[in-house]
Chains A and B, each alone.
Chain A
Protein backbone atom coordinates (compact mmCIF):
# COMPACT_ATOMS: atom_id res chain seq x y z
CA UNK A 1 0.00 0.00 0.00
CA UNK A 2 2.67 2.47 0.92
CA UNK A 3 5.00 2.28 -2.00
CA UNK A 4 2.23 2.43 -4.50
CA UNK A 5 2.28 6.18 -4.81
CA UNK A 6 4.48 5.78 -7.83
CA UNK A 7 1.94 3.48 -9.37
CA UNK A 8 -1.20 5.21 -10.51
CA UNK A 9 -4.03 2.89 -11.37
CA UNK A 10 -5.64 3.85 -14.66
CA UNK A 11 -9.12 5.33 -14.35
CA UNK A 12 -10.38 2.84 -16.89
CA UNK A 13 -9.53 -0.02 -14.56
CA UNK A 14 -11.41 1.62 -11.71
CA UNK A 15 -14.44 2.00 -13.98
CA UNK A 16 -14.16 -1.58 -15.08
CA UNK A 17 -14.06 -2.86 -11.53
CA UNK A 18 -16.95 -0.61 -10.66
CA UNK A 19 -19.06 -2.04 -13.46
CA UNK A 20 -18.17 -5.57 -12.44
CA UNK A 21 -19.15 -4.81 -8.86
CA UNK A 22 -22.50 -3.38 -9.92
CA UNK A 23 -23.22 -6.31 -12.17
CA UNK A 24 -22.22 -8.71 -9.41
CA UNK A 25 -24.57 -6.94 -7.03
CA UNK A 26 -27.57 -7.33 -9.29
CA UNK A 27 -26.46 -10.83 -10.16
CA UNK A 28 -26.36 -11.93 -6.55
CA UNK A 29 -29.77 -10.46 -5.90
CA UNK A 30 -31.17 -12.22 -8.95
CA UNK A 31 -29.56 -15.59 -8.24
CA UNK A 32 -31.05 -15.53 -4.78
CA UNK A 33 -34.45 -15.83 -6.39
CA UNK A 34 -33.47 -19.03 -8.18
CA UNK A 35 -33.68 -22.30 -6.37
CA UNK A 36 -30.23 -23.80 -6.01
CA UNK A 37 -30.98 -25.60 -2.80
CA UNK A 38 -28.13 -25.48 -0.36
CA UNK A 39 -25.93 -23.74 -2.89
CA UNK A 40 -27.79 -20.44 -2.71
CA UNK A 41 -25.80 -19.47 0.35
CA UNK A 42 -22.55 -20.73 -1.09
CA UNK A 43 -23.03 -18.80 -4.31
CA UNK A 44 -24.05 -15.64 -2.48
CA UNK A 45 -21.00 -15.73 -0.26
CA UNK A 46 -18.78 -16.62 -3.18
CA UNK A 47 -19.97 -13.59 -5.12
CA UNK A 48 -19.57 -11.43 -2.02
CA UNK A 49 -16.02 -12.65 -1.59
CA UNK A 50 -15.23 -11.94 -5.22
CA UNK A 51 -16.57 -8.41 -4.82
CA UNK A 52 -14.65 -7.89 -1.60
CA UNK A 53 -11.48 -9.19 -3.24
CA UNK A 54 -11.82 -6.77 -6.11
CA UNK A 55 -12.27 -3.88 -3.71
CA UNK A 56 -9.28 -4.98 -1.67
CA UNK A 57 -7.00 -5.68 -4.60
CA UNK A 58 -7.79 -2.77 -6.86
CA UNK A 59 -9.54 -0.02 -4.91
CA UNK A 60 -7.36 -0.56 -1.86
CA UNK A 61 -4.28 -1.14 -4.01
CA UNK A 62 -3.26 -4.37 -2.38
CA UNK A 63 -2.45 -5.78 -5.81
CA UNK A 64 0.11 -3.07 -6.38
CA UNK A 65 1.80 -2.95 -3.04
CA UNK A 66 5.07 -4.65 -2.31
CA UNK A 67 4.20 -4.57 1.37
CA UNK A 68 3.97 -8.13 2.54
CA UNK A 69 2.59 -6.96 5.87
CA UNK A 70 -0.61 -5.71 4.30
CA UNK A 71 -1.45 -9.09 2.88
CA UNK A 72 -0.29 -10.78 6.08
CA UNK A 73 -2.60 -8.64 8.18
CA UNK A 74 -5.58 -9.27 5.94
CA UNK A 75 -5.03 -12.98 5.84
CA UNK A 76 -4.45 -13.13 9.60
CA UNK A 77 -7.57 -11.17 10.47
CA UNK A 78 -9.76 -13.22 8.15
CA UNK A 79 -8.20 -16.42 9.44
CA UNK A 80 -8.80 -15.34 13.02
CA UNK A 81 -12.42 -14.62 12.28
CA UNK A 82 -12.73 -18.05 10.74
CA UNK A 83 -11.20 -19.50 13.92
CA UNK A 84 -13.91 -17.85 15.97
CA UNK A 85 -16.62 -19.09 13.64
CA UNK A 86 -15.31 -22.60 13.08
CA UNK A 87 -14.42 -23.44 16.65
CA UNK A 88 -17.72 -22.09 17.92
CA UNK A 89 -19.37 -24.32 15.37
CA UNK A 90 -17.67 -27.38 16.89
CA UNK A 91 -20.00 -26.76 19.76
CA UNK A 92 -23.16 -25.80 17.93
CA UNK A 93 -22.95 -28.35 15.19
CA UNK A 94 -22.49 -31.20 17.62
CA UNK A 95 -25.35 -30.47 19.92
CA UNK A 96 -28.39 -32.69 19.82
CA UNK A 97 -31.27 -31.21 17.94
CA UNK A 98 -33.06 -34.39 16.83
CA UNK A 99 -36.15 -33.99 18.97
CA UNK A 100 -37.34 -30.67 17.75
CA UNK A 101 -36.32 -30.18 14.17
CA UNK A 102 -39.31 -28.16 13.01
CA UNK A 103 -38.91 -25.65 15.75
CA UNK A 104 -35.15 -25.81 15.61
CA UNK A 105 -34.95 -25.77 19.37
CA UNK A 106 -31.51 -26.27 20.76
CA UNK A 107 -31.08 -29.06 23.31
CA UNK A 108 -27.65 -29.16 24.86
CA UNK A 109 -25.97 -32.45 25.67
CA UNK A 110 -24.72 -32.74 29.22
CA UNK A 111 -21.10 -33.68 29.11
CA UNK A 112 -21.20 -36.00 32.08
CA UNK A 113 -23.90 -38.35 31.08
CA UNK A 114 -24.23 -37.73 27.36
CA UNK A 115 -27.94 -37.53 27.85
CA UNK A 116 -30.20 -34.76 26.81
CA UNK A 117 -30.39 -32.17 29.56
CA UNK A 118 -33.75 -31.29 31.04
CA UNK A 119 -34.98 -28.14 29.46
Chain B
Protein backbone atom coordinates (compact mmCIF):
# COMPACT_ATOMS: atom_id res chain seq x y z
CA UNK B 1 0.00 0.00 0.00
CA UNK B 2 1.34 3.36 -0.84
CA UNK B 3 1.82 4.61 2.64
CA UNK B 4 2.76 1.48 4.48
CA UNK B 5 5.97 1.04 2.58
CA UNK B 6 8.76 -1.31 3.50
CA UNK B 7 10.49 -0.05 6.59
CA UNK B 8 12.55 -2.89 7.80
CA UNK B 9 10.08 -4.03 10.46
CA UNK B 10 6.77 -5.68 9.81
CA UNK B 11 4.21 -2.88 9.85
CA UNK B 12 1.70 -2.99 12.64
CA UNK B 13 -1.24 -2.52 10.34
CA UNK B 14 -0.69 -5.61 8.30
CA UNK B 15 -3.96 -5.36 6.51
CA UNK B 16 -3.20 -4.53 2.91
CA UNK B 17 -5.87 -2.60 1.18
CA UNK B 18 -4.03 -3.15 -2.00
CA UNK B 19 -6.67 -1.62 -4.19
CA UNK B 20 -5.06 1.45 -5.65
CA UNK B 21 -7.65 3.67 -4.14
CA UNK B 22 -6.77 7.15 -3.26
CA UNK B 23 -6.31 7.61 0.44
CA UNK B 24 -8.42 10.38 1.88
CA UNK B 25 -5.69 12.79 2.79
CA UNK B 26 -4.15 12.89 -0.66
CA UNK B 27 -5.50 15.15 -3.34
CA UNK B 28 -4.66 12.80 -6.17
CA UNK B 29 -2.81 9.63 -7.06
CA UNK B 30 0.23 11.53 -8.22
CA UNK B 31 0.64 13.15 -4.81
CA UNK B 32 0.21 9.80 -3.13
CA UNK B 33 2.84 8.19 -5.31
CA UNK B 34 5.25 11.09 -4.86
CA UNK B 35 4.85 10.91 -1.12
CA UNK B 36 5.49 7.16 -1.04
CA UNK B 37 8.56 7.52 -3.19
CA UNK B 38 9.98 10.38 -1.17
CA UNK B 39 9.32 8.45 2.01
CA UNK B 40 11.22 5.42 0.78
CA UNK B 41 14.15 7.50 -0.42
CA UNK B 42 14.38 9.20 2.95
CA UNK B 43 14.23 5.83 4.63
CA UNK B 44 17.11 4.66 2.46
CA UNK B 45 18.97 7.77 3.55
CA UNK B 46 18.56 6.68 7.14
CA UNK B 47 19.84 3.24 6.22
CA UNK B 48 22.95 4.79 4.72
CA UNK B 49 23.65 6.33 8.12
CA UNK B 50 22.75 3.10 9.90
CA UNK B 51 25.30 1.05 7.99
CA UNK B 52 27.54 4.08 8.00
CA UNK B 53 28.09 3.85 11.74
CA UNK B 54 29.53 0.39 11.28
CA UNK B 55 31.56 1.55 8.31
CA UNK B 56 33.06 4.17 10.60
CA UNK B 57 34.07 1.56 13.15
CA UNK B 58 35.50 -0.58 10.36
CA UNK B 59 37.42 2.32 8.87
CA UNK B 60 38.98 3.29 12.16
CA UNK B 61 40.21 -0.21 12.96
CA UNK B 62 41.30 -1.02 9.44
CA UNK B 63 43.60 2.00 9.54
CA UNK B 64 45.29 1.07 12.76
CA UNK B 65 45.36 -2.69 12.34
CA UNK B 66 45.86 -2.95 8.61
CA UNK B 67 48.11 -6.05 8.54
CA UNK B 68 45.80 -8.05 10.77
CA UNK B 69 42.76 -6.92 8.84
CA UNK B 70 44.41 -7.88 5.58
CA UNK B 71 45.38 -11.28 6.89
CA UNK B 72 41.88 -11.96 8.16
CA UNK B 73 40.36 -10.71 4.95
CA UNK B 74 42.38 -13.24 2.99
CA UNK B 75 40.78 -16.03 4.92
CA UNK B 76 37.49 -15.18 3.22
CA UNK B 77 36.86 -17.16 0.08
CA UNK B 78 37.41 -14.76 -2.80
CA UNK B 79 35.72 -16.86 -5.46
CA UNK B 80 32.66 -17.59 -3.39
CA UNK B 81 32.39 -13.95 -2.43
CA UNK B 82 32.68 -12.78 -6.02
CA UNK B 83 30.10 -15.25 -7.23
CA UNK B 84 27.76 -14.31 -4.43
CA UNK B 85 28.08 -10.67 -5.41
CA UNK B 86 27.12 -11.67 -8.94
CA UNK B 87 24.08 -13.49 -7.57
CA UNK B 88 22.91 -10.37 -5.84
CA UNK B 89 23.41 -8.35 -8.99
CA UNK B 90 21.22 -10.88 -10.81
CA UNK B 91 18.53 -10.25 -8.27
CA UNK B 92 18.76 -6.52 -8.88
CA UNK B 93 18.31 -7.15 -12.58
CA UNK B 94 15.25 -9.31 -12.04
CA UNK B 95 13.61 -6.84 -9.70
CA UNK B 96 14.23 -3.95 -12.11
CA UNK B 97 12.72 -6.08 -14.86
CA UNK B 98 9.78 -6.90 -12.62
CA UNK B 99 9.00 -3.24 -12.15
CA UNK B 100 9.25 -2.84 -15.89
CA UNK B 101 6.86 -5.73 -16.40
CA UNK B 102 4.40 -4.02 -14.08
CA UNK B 103 4.76 -0.81 -16.04
CA UNK B 104 3.79 -2.78 -19.12
CA UNK B 105 0.95 -4.57 -17.40
CA UNK B 106 2.42 -8.04 -17.81
CA UNK B 107 1.19 -9.88 -14.74
CA UNK B 108 2.69 -13.30 -15.36
CA UNK B 109 6.10 -11.91 -16.21
CA UNK B 110 6.03 -9.78 -13.07
CA UNK B 111 5.42 -12.79 -10.91
CA UNK B 112 8.11 -14.86 -12.60
CA UNK B 113 10.67 -12.10 -12.20
CA UNK B 114 9.70 -11.51 -8.60
CA UNK B 115 10.05 -15.18 -7.84
CA UNK B 116 13.45 -15.11 -9.52
CA UNK B 117 14.42 -12.19 -7.33
CA UNK B 118 13.44 -14.06 -4.21
CA UNK B 119 15.28 -17.10 -5.51
CA UNK B 120 18.49 -15.17 -6.01
CA UNK B 121 18.09 -13.59 -2.60
CA UNK B 122 17.74 -16.96 -0.98
CA UNK B 123 20.75 -18.28 -2.89
CA UNK B 124 22.75 -15.35 -1.60
CA UNK B 125 21.67 -16.06 1.96
CA UNK B 126 22.41 -19.73 1.56
CA UNK B 127 25.91 -19.03 0.30
CA UNK B 128 26.44 -16.63 3.17
CA UNK B 129 25.38 -19.35 5.55
CA UNK B 130 27.91 -21.66 3.92
CA UNK B 131 30.63 -19.05 4.29
CA UNK B 132 29.79 -18.52 7.91
CA UNK B 133 29.87 -22.20 8.63
CA UNK B 134 33.33 -22.27 7.12
CA UNK B 135 34.33 -19.51 9.45
CA UNK B 136 33.03 -21.55 12.31
CA UNK B 137 35.09 -24.53 11.27
CA UNK B 138 38.18 -22.35 11.04
CA UNK B 139 37.60 -20.95 14.51
CA UNK B 140 37.15 -17.46 13.12
CA UNK B 141 33.94 -16.66 14.90
CA UNK B 142 34.76 -14.34 17.80
CA UNK B 143 34.29 -15.86 21.24
CA UNK B 144 33.41 -19.29 19.83
CA UNK B 145 36.75 -21.05 20.31
CA UNK B 146 38.35 -18.22 18.40
CA UNK B 147 41.86 -18.96 17.28
CA UNK B 148 43.94 -17.76 14.37
CA UNK B 149 47.28 -19.04 15.60
CA UNK B 150 47.71 -22.61 14.52
CA UNK B 151 44.94 -25.04 13.82
CA UNK B 152 42.32 -24.93 11.12
CA UNK B 153 42.11 -21.21 10.84
CA UNK B 154 45.73 -20.31 11.11
CA UNK B 155 46.50 -16.91 9.63
CA UNK B 156 50.11 -16.68 10.63
CA UNK B 157 51.83 -19.07 8.28
CA UNK B 158 50.61 -17.56 5.04
CA UNK B 159 51.03 -14.01 6.17
CA UNK B 160 54.09 -14.18 8.36
CA UNK B 161 56.08 -11.42 6.66
CA UNK B 162 53.07 -9.18 6.33
CA UNK B 163 52.17 -9.56 9.97
CA UNK B 164 55.66 -8.83 11.16
CA UNK B 165 56.16 -12.33 12.43
CA UNK B 166 59.43 -12.73 10.60
CA UNK B 167 60.90 -9.86 12.53
CA UNK B 168 60.20 -11.36 15.91
CA UNK B 169 60.51 -15.04 15.03
CA UNK B 170 63.62 -15.54 17.01
CA UNK B 171 62.48 -13.91 20.20
CA UNK B 172 59.94 -16.13 21.91
CA UNK B 173 58.67 -13.38 24.19
CA UNK B 174 58.11 -10.93 21.40
CA UNK B 175 56.69 -13.65 19.22
CA UNK B 176 54.15 -14.60 21.84
CA UNK B 177 53.25 -10.96 22.34
CA UNK B 178 52.83 -10.42 18.63
CA UNK B 179 50.73 -13.52 18.26
CA UNK B 180 48.51 -12.39 21.10
CA UNK B 181 48.04 -9.09 19.39
CA UNK B 182 47.21 -10.78 16.13
CA UNK B 183 44.59 -12.83 17.92
CA UNK B 184 43.01 -9.69 19.35
CA UNK B 185 43.17 -7.50 16.30
CA UNK B 186 41.93 -10.10 13.86
CA UNK B 187 39.09 -10.77 16.22
CA UNK B 188 38.05 -7.16 15.77
CA UNK B 189 37.99 -7.72 12.03
CA UNK B 190 35.80 -10.75 12.38
CA UNK B 191 33.51 -9.04 14.86
CA UNK B 192 32.94 -6.31 12.35
CA UNK B 193 32.70 -8.82 9.51
CA UNK B 194 29.89 -10.66 11.24
CA UNK B 195 28.22 -7.46 12.39
CA UNK B 196 28.28 -6.02 8.88
CA UNK B 197 27.34 -9.14 6.95
CA UNK B 198 24.89 -10.12 9.67
CA UNK B 199 23.12 -6.80 9.52
CA UNK B 200 23.14 -7.03 5.75
CA UNK B 201 21.68 -10.53 5.92
CA UNK B 202 18.93 -9.34 8.25
CA UNK B 203 18.05 -6.72 5.69
CA UNK B 204 18.05 -9.38 2.98
CA UNK B 205 15.76 -11.61 5.00
CA UNK B 206 13.38 -8.73 5.57
CA UNK B 207 13.61 -8.00 1.86
CA UNK B 208 12.70 -11.57 1.01
CA UNK B 209 9.75 -11.30 3.37
CA UNK B 210 8.60 -8.08 1.79
CA UNK B 211 8.98 -9.48 -1.68
CA UNK B 212 6.98 -12.55 -0.77
CA UNK B 213 4.11 -10.24 0.03
CA UNK B 214 4.72 -8.21 -3.10
CA UNK B 215 4.79 -11.34 -5.23
CA UNK B 216 1.49 -12.41 -3.76
CA UNK B 217 0.05 -9.00 -4.55
CA UNK B 218 1.37 -9.21 -8.10
CA UNK B 219 -0.12 -12.66 -8.47
CA UNK B 220 -3.46 -11.24 -7.43
CA UNK B 221 -3.19 -8.70 -10.19
CA UNK B 222 -2.97 -5.72 -7.88
CA UNK B 223 -0.36 -3.96 -9.95
CA UNK B 224 -1.21 -2.13 -13.12
CA UNK B 225 0.68 0.26 -15.33
CA UNK B 226 -1.07 3.06 -13.45
CA UNK B 227 -0.46 1.72 -9.98
CA UNK B 228 2.47 -0.35 -8.88
CA UNK B 229 3.89 1.86 -6.17
CA UNK B 230 4.46 -0.86 -3.54
CA UNK B 231 6.49 -2.83 -6.06
CA UNK B 232 8.49 0.22 -7.04
CA UNK B 233 9.40 1.21 -3.54
CA UNK B 234 10.12 -2.37 -2.47
CA UNK B 235 12.43 -2.48 -5.47
CA UNK B 236 14.23 0.61 -4.22
CA UNK B 237 14.82 -1.12 -0.90
CA UNK B 238 16.17 -4.20 -2.60
CA UNK B 239 18.55 -2.23 -4.78
CA UNK B 240 19.80 -0.43 -1.74
CA UNK B 241 20.60 -3.68 0.04
CA UNK B 242 22.47 -4.68 -3.10
CA UNK B 243 24.45 -1.45 -3.03
CA UNK B 244 25.44 -2.04 0.58
CA UNK B 245 26.89 -5.37 -0.51
CA UNK B 246 28.63 -3.73 -3.46
CA UNK B 247 30.62 -1.80 -0.88
CA UNK B 248 30.95 -4.57 1.66
CA UNK B 249 32.52 -6.91 -0.84
CA UNK B 250 35.68 -4.90 -1.57
CA UNK B 251 35.93 -3.63 1.99
CA UNK B 252 35.78 -7.06 3.54
CA UNK B 253 37.12 -9.43 0.90
CA UNK B 254 39.61 -7.32 -1.02
CA UNK B 255 41.64 -5.59 1.65
CA UNK B 256 44.85 -7.06 0.36
CA UNK B 257 44.82 -9.90 -2.12
CA UNK B 258 48.23 -9.35 -3.59
CA UNK B 259 49.90 -12.72 -3.77
CA UNK B 260 52.82 -13.44 -1.46
CA UNK B 261 52.92 -10.20 0.46
Are chains A and B touching in the complex at the 8 Å CB cutoff? yes
Interface positions of A (Cβ within 8 A of B): 1-3, 5, 8-9, 11, 14-15, 17-18, 21-22, 25-26, 28-29, 32-35, 40-41, 44-45, 47-48, 51-52, 55-56, 58-60, 67, 69-70, 73-74, 76-78, 80-81, 84-85, 88-89, 92-93, 97, 102-106
Would you give the shortest CB distance from A64 to chain B, in whole angstroms? 12
Whether A103 pairs with B86 at a CB distance below 8 angstroms is no
Whether B246 pairs with A11 at a CB distance below 8 angstroms is no
Task: Count B-side interface residues using an 8 Å CB cutoff.
Answer: 66
**Total number of residue pairs linking A and B with CB closer than 8 Å:** 163
Would you give the shortest CB distance from A33 to chain B, in whole angstroms? 5
Restricting to B236-261, which residues have a CB under 8 Å from any CB of A? 236, 239, 242-243, 246-247, 249-251, 253-259
Please indicate which of the listed interface residues A2, A28, A45, A55 has the most CB atoms of chain B within 10 Å of its own CB.
Answer: A2
Extra contacts, 10 of them, besides A32-B250, A45-B250 (Cβ < 8 A), are A1-B232, A11-B100, A17-B93, A21-B92, A26-B86, A55-B92, A70-B41, A80-B49, A81-B55, A92-B64
CB-CB nearest in chain A for B102 = A5
Query: Is B156's CB within 8 Å of the partner chain A?
Result: no
Please indicate which of the listed interface residues A41, A45, A74 has the most CB atoms of chain B within 10 Å of its own CB.
Answer: A41
Whether A106 pairs with B103 at a CB distance below 8 angstroms is no
Which chain A residues lie closer than 8 Å to B251 at the CB level? 44
Would you give the shortest CB distance from B175 to chain A, in whole angstroms? 12
Restricting to B196-226, which residues have a CB under 8 Å from any CB of A? 225-226
User: Complex: how many Å from CA A2 to CA B236?
Assistant: 12
User: Complex: how many Å from CA A62 to CA B103?
Assistant: 16
CB-CB nearest in chain B for A36 = B258
Which chain A residues lie closer than 8 Å to B226 at the CB level? 5
Query: Is B52's CB within 8 Å of the partner chain A?
Result: yes
User: Complex: how many Å from CA A88 to CA B48?
Assistant: 17
CB-CB nearest in chain A for B93 = A18
Which chain A residues lie closer than 8 Å to B257 at the CB level? 29, 32-33
Q: Which 8 A-B pairs have the closest CB atoms?
A: A77-B45, A44-B250, A81-B52, A32-B257, A32-B254, A77-B48, A2-B37, A2-B34
Given A5-B103, A104-B64: A73 touches B41 (CB 8 Å cut-off): yes
Whether B66 pairs with A104 at a CB distance below 8 angstroms is yes
CB-CB nearest in chain B for A1 = B37
User: Complex: how many Å from CA A58 to CA B240?
Assistant: 13
Whether B92 pairs with A92 at a CB distance below 8 angstroms is no
Query: Is B167's CB within 8 Å of the partner chain A?
Result: yes
Given A60-B236, A92-B63, A103-B181: A73 touches B250 (CB 8 Å cut-off): no
